[in-house]
Amino acid sequence: MKIHRTIYFYLRYDENALAQLQLVLDRIKKSICLKAGDLLIVDNKRTVHGRTNFVPSYNFKDRWLQRAKVIKKLD
């Protein structure tokens, strides 16, 4: 997993702390390969996640990422 430095452009952060975080993330990461028709639901409050790079073929058979939001209350 890579940490996007652009996110931290305006924030003060400790470079050593980010390096240590990267080491931990690399050590505990898990890879999941989804097949056509698979669904993966991620709780953003409990996980860190990312996606691998890919080159689209624009043939309508590429991966399709859909975002959804689940909330406890509507008020």
Q: Is the pTM of this model over 0.85?
A: no
Rg value, the chain, Cα? 16
The model's pLDDT over 21-61, given as tens digits with 9 standing for 90+, comes to 889 988 998 988 888 788 888 888 888 877 778 788 888 87
Q: Pick from 11, 68, 62, 10: which is nearest to 40 by CA?
A: 68
Give the per-residue pLDDT at 27.
93
